[in-house]
Amino acid sequence: MRWLKRLFKEEDGAVVVIVALALVVLLGCMALVVDAGVMYVNKAHLQNVADAAALAGAQALPDKNEAEEKAIAYGSFNGVDINPDDVNENYADGQIEVICRRIDVPYFFARVWGFDKAEVTARAVAKKDSSLPSAFTDYAIFSESGDIPLYVGKAGQSICNGVIHTNNTLHLGKHLNVTRVEACSGITETGSNTIGSRDAASPYIPIPTDFKDELLAQVTAAPKKYIGDQTFGGNGLDLSESIYVQGNVKITGNNITGKGFIYATGDIEISGNNTQIGSADIPVFIYSEKNITIEKNNVNMYCIIYAPNGIIDVQKNNWNLHGRLIGKSFADACLKNNFTITAGSGDFSGVPLGYGRTTVLIE
């Protein structure tokens, strides 16, 4: 029995060493569980904030300044200061990237190994998920009529960075550079053109009736209403408050600005030279139940021109459109020469609908 007692006495020091080592392992496990848990909670919170901020910012696109302001405001509301440098509203066409950071999240048990704090980040990318009909989203020039042919290009150099579609016959002139052309009843050409691709037997594409009805219901709720024919002149027309006119409209001022639309139950006529309609960040929406005529040389437009029941006629030369022309039909001389059309995903902010304003996370 004495030898057994001596054995235990001799191993007292070993037990202390073993316990000390076990405590180190235990602290390591606690650091892993507790500190990793803290990092996870912070990461999850930042991710939720980044998602919300990106969705809020995407709602404001293509107005990049407003998109950044909304993203930062949503971060602040949720307790996260988002650096403007971490908001990239130019991430991709119609998309915004937001990064949320916390640079001083403290460690607890990991301090035993000299780790005091860590940086935690979360990233989100959101975009507008357009549910507009294809007549809006897929085409730069869209003619719905199945009875009236579409004429494009007669002289000069003209460019269409987008798709041209008609539900009748498409007659192409010369010196055209077009991404793609589609027609339900054939395509003719009278000169040399550069066409990316073509479909001379395209299916008939309508503008959905329910979309027309919903859009009409929205424009009738415009904050500014006028009864009878109206003329807007002076230095320009401000659409910061959208306008509804029961009658015809003439716009003779130099510029059309503001984030909104103008709707008329009658014709819309825009006249004058060297005019700016909308802007790259804030395109507008011009909508007539009848006809839309633009009688301007050297006009620069950021807008959607929409005449679902009438004729679109851009009569002059040297005009540049960032947007779309969508009509029941087009005047024969409308698209004759020296024009440039570029369609993009940021064209729809003036459209007064939930359409084109739904936002989704993509990263």
Instruction: Report pLDDT for 155.
Output: 66
Q: What is the pLDDT of residue 207?
A: 86
Residue 318 near residue 337, CB atoms below 8 Å: no
How many CB atoms lie under 10 A from the CB of residue 26?
12
Q: Structure tokens of 142? A: 């869209």
pLDDT confidence of residue 240: 83
Residue 27 contacts residue 109 (beta carbons within 8 Å) = yes
24-37 tens-digit pLDDT: 666 666 666 666 77
Query: What would the mean pLDDT of 309-334 be, rounded to a whole number?
Result: 88
Give backbone dihedrals phi and psi of 100, rounded to 5 degrees, phi first. Answer: -105, 140
Whether residue 62 has a cis bond before it, omega within 30° of 0:
yes
Predicted local distance difference test score (pLDDT) of residue 275:
74
What are the residues whose beta carbons fall under 8 Å from the beta carbon of 207, sequence distance 6 or more? 133, 135, 144, 308, 326
Task: Give residue 12's pLDDT.
Answer: 52
Tell me which residue has tokens 């006495």: 9
Question: Per-residue pLDDT for 315 more than 90?
Answer: no
Give the tens place of pLDDT for each residue, 97-124.
Answer: 999 898 877 766 666 666 667 788 888 8
Closest to 292 measured CA to CA, from 273, 275, 277, 312: 312
Query: What are φ and ψ of residue 90, in 5° steps?
Result: -110, 20
Q: What is the 3-state secondary structure (H, E, C) of 15-36?
A: HHHHHHHHHHHHHHHHHHHHHH
User: Which range among 105-119, 147-161, 196-210, 282-296 shows the weakest confidence by mean pLDDT?
Assistant: 105-119
C-alpha of 136 from chain center: 13
Strand 276-277 and strand 300-314: the pairing is parallel
Whole-number percent of the chain with pLDDT over 70: 81
pLDDT of the residue at 267: 96
| pLDDT over threshold 80, residue 4 | no
- Give me the mean pLDDT over the 268-284 stretch: 81
pLDDT given at position 74: 84
> CA-CA distance, 123 to 112, in Å (whole number)?
31
Residue 7 has pLDDT above 50, yes or no: no
On the question of pLDDT at 211 being above 60, the answer is yes
Q: pLDDT tens for residues 343-358?
A: 987 787 777 765 444 5
Is the model's pLDDT at 19 over the cut of 80? no
Indicate whether this model's pTM tops 0.85.
no
**Cα–Cα distance between 292 and 286 in angstroms, integer?**
9
Whether the pLDDT of residue 169 is over 90: the answer is yes
- Given this model, what pLDDT does residue 185 score? 95
User: Quick one: DSSP state of residue 76?
Assistant: H
Q: Which residues of 83-106 are buried (b: 16+ CB within 10 A; e: fewer)?
A: eeebbbbebeebbbbbbbbbeebe
Q: Report the mean per-residue pLDDT for the chain.
A: 81
